[in-house]
Structure 1
């Protein structure tokens, strides 16, 4: 009698998602490089968020994704215009904005809009808080990346259509106290992340700041702890794949066609792992976003991934350890408050 374990495999639907994720990110990356646009990270990562987080693509998803970025642009403009000279007020305003996002996420309202909005908000706050940053350039790049991601997603779904509708997971109903708990957990930790990265001037730690946001999506301590472990492994995998692709290219890194081919192959591997895990934010998704950040933000003809990769991994590990320690104490404190207990 055979005791050989079954080898996990992908369905036709999942294979198409793998190809769409890799092609979508490469398309955005290639266009940004050909046009010489700044903030290439938006063009590489946005398609991953759109095609990797949502199991389907339809008009509702596309509108939510576009609307989330428009909301973020307004939020950043208001924060920069009225609160930049006042650090304390800025912190309170950022907390209020994060509360809005995480509360709607906890209630299950337009998940794509508020979830992608949290990531974009954190990244724009990260870049926009420095005086050398042009808010206009960042806003235009964000909008262009959104349009290209949605248009690219629509074309890819037209070329590689799904013949079957995926099963959508049911969301368990939450009590008012549980919604309050998740909102305060997510908003408090996201605000603390923003403050720490500003105080210590960690401008080159985009991966670490994004990681501290993505692991908060379950908005519970136990699930965030598991996400943090998966995120560390995903970042390590993404950095490894990026370094291997660079070693294979060696001194050909200035050739855009070869860079895109290498990026496509690494994204295919990471996307396949993401599909095999069949969870929202696992090792594969962490590798995908890491590859998008490394290629989109740090790869230049006269630079490489070596320092960036090791720094990304080290900063992510340190940031997530501190975040999870803080989350443990915050979770314990909130569970002592009757209107914010995480119990059914």
Structure 2
């Protein structure tokens, strides 16, 4: 189970780096390398470059939109629509899926937060870039320390959840559904005061990941189940450590124990992989954002996370179902004359 060891090492080492250097939003350093390692059994520059380039480009685009168009809501909405459409089109192509998904997810989160005066877009950008470039050494060490056995047949690395277009009509429906859901999420988070709902917003795009109606419905069930599992683990860590939670070594060890089980699930592939990744993100996000040892626990943040994610996933599933029904009627497959 070398893959499980690589996943475990990547998320624990990522958390350790964020703790040592005091990175805000340290969950990026935990989850981004895991996202890569889960999709490739050996070192693969292409996947890492896709993710890093996607993060850099979308943060530059968001900074441009924020700096020049934020005072003009209508122009900003048009620019965001064009941005999201380009990412959705990229997601329909397997060779650029990770680039498109990363841009759509990070771009949506950043565009939501720039509407709040307390949000520092420069700090967010720098932290995200540092976390993105940290993918290279984290993944390199993981593959070096826990290589695949030589006798194992190496499959061509690729994206596990990438959309595989079968025809022109299917590609149009995928892009249209992704763009519609992304724009609905953008508008909702612009008009509602949901500054603490980063997890719920991310869940919208994780459910959207398969880019198909059936896949999205399956992803919704996995997301809720995995989130519950991760939230329970987060509460167990807090209750278990209690007053020792401010000890960085003990905190890291407790996280490593829980992350080991979730890494094993991710390495199993299929449904278990989605379950493990959802659980790992539910564990990492509140413990790296809301939790402050000796000052503030993450108990209520964990409860809020689960409730907001569940609500967001249910609404997203409903929106995808309605959008799918409309698209099937509007974008019809060409008739074949015999």
CA distance, structure 2, for counterparts of residue 54 and residue 118 of structure 1: 22
Equivalent residue, structure 1, for 2:130 = 144
Q: Which runs of 5+ in 2 are unaligned?
A: none
Equivalent residue, structure 2, for 1:310 = 303
CA distance, structure 2, for counterparts of residue 56 and residue 199 of structure 1: 44
- CA drift of 1:96 comes to 1.8
Counterpart check, 1:28 vs 2:21: no
Is the 2:237–2:254 Cα contact (8 Å) retained in structure 1? yes
Q: How many equivalent pairs are there?
A: 327
TM-score (ref. length: structure 2): 0.90
Label 1:90 to 1:151 Cα distance change in 2 as closer, same or farther (>3 A): same
SS in 2 for 1:300: coil
Equivalent residue, structure 2, for 1:299 = 291
CA distance, structure 1, for counterparts of residue 255 and residue 283 of structure 2: 8
CA RMSD of aligned residues (A): 2.2
Structure 1 range deviating more: 166-175 or 254-263: 166-175
Equivalent residue, structure 1, for 2:26 = 40
- CA drift of 1:38 comes to 2.1
Q: Which runs of 5+ in 1 are unaligned?
A: 1-14
SS in 1 for 2:95: coil
Q: Which one of 152, 156, 166 corresponds to residue 155 of structure 2?
A: 166
List structure 1 runs of 4+ shifted beyond 6 angstroms: none
- CA drift of 1:254 comes to 0.8
Label 1:86 to 1:171 Cα distance change in 2 as closer, same or farther (>3 A): closer
Query: C-alpha offsets along residues 55-101 of structure 1, whole Å, 9 cap, x if unaligned?
Result: 54312222222211111122211221232122333233222212111
Show the 5 A alignment for 1:208-223: 208-223=200-215
- CA drift of 1:197 comes to 2.1
Q: Which one of 82, 85, 88 corresponds to residue 102 of structure 1?
A: 88
Label 1:171 to 1:120 Cα distance change in 2 as closer, same or farther (>3 A): closer
SS in 2 for 1:21: helix
Structure 1 range deviating more: 90-99 or 278-287: 278-287
- CA drift of 1:262 comes to 1.2
Equivalent residue, structure 2, for 1:243 = 235
Is the 1:180–1:340 Cα contact (8 Å) retained in structure 2? no
